[in-house]
Amino acid sequence: MVDLLIPSLEVVLRTLAADVAYTMSRMQVLERIEGNPVGVAYRWLDDGAVALTARIPAFARVIGLRAGLERHIEPLVQWYRAQGVRPTFEAVPGLWSDGLGRELARHGYYQSGFHAALIGAPAPAHPAAAPAGDGAAPAIEVVTTPDAMEGYLDAYVAGWGIPEADHPQFKSNVRPWLHQPGWTLYLARMDGRPAAAATLYAHGSTAYLADAATDPAFRGRGLQQALLRRRMHDAGLAGADLLCSGAYPLSASHRNMERVGLQLQFNRAKWTPT
């Protein structure tokens, strides 16, 4: 039996494919809004790589760039410049080449940061909710109803610090997540109040632990670890044999993932325009 947690190019390609599939699913929710107000657009490259753009800076990414795709860089740089968008080209160990770096540098890009990619195995046993700081355990539910979705949205906007004036439009944009194929949404409550939210995305036998957020009023109480353990268990029940996720290196999210058994797969280098 192959140990999927031993570093290999095969596992890198699996986790990249899950990342691309989840990101595309999320982008297409925004693209379906009448008039495409967020400006979602994308270009497929060779071998499953994709260039994404939107007026939301975090969505302007080139994912899956690899040796042999150097010829795509100049047209993509021009495409982004024409839209006034500053993208991030992502570089992944095992797929990188000196030629990609030289071509990006020629167009004024430099390595500006990292993003940790983590992998793990599904949890075989049902997770016991860890007690919070006051001794109470969070109540975690799968979001299946409109009422629960509103709780998920309340925790989400609080966790990501969405300005209050933007809440109505943001929530309207995000409500379709409840019905996205392959998505499972989770809501953690403390004392009956929405406290944290998270997503599990299934891509074949790979499960992506995505987009977790905790209301600042409830941070430091073990909610993210509880949500991670629940999703790791549910992913195994759904037939996944590999988990993946990502976080800013050495952040609280990164540490929580390591605490529940995920391990660093690689650090993704981020190249941005000077």
**d(C-alpha 42, C-alpha 23), whole Å:** 11
- Rounded to an integer, what distance in angstroms lies between the CA atom of residue 7 and that of residue 23? 23
Tell me what the pLDDT averaged over the chain comes to.
93
Residue 141 CB burial class (10 angstroms; 0-12, 13-18, ≥19): middle
pTM to 2 decimal places: 0.92
pLDDT surpasses 50 at 249: yes
Q: Would you identify the CATH topology of the domain 122-240?
A: Aminopeptidase (3.40.630)
* Tokens coding 37: 């107000």
pLDDT digits (tens, 9 = 90+) for 187-244: 999 999 999 999 999 999 999 999 999 999 999 999 999 999 999 999 999 999 999 9
The tens digit of pLDDT for each residue in 17-59 reads 999 999 999 999 999 999 999 999 999 998 889 999 998 888 9
Residues of the chain with CATH 3.40.630.30: 122-240
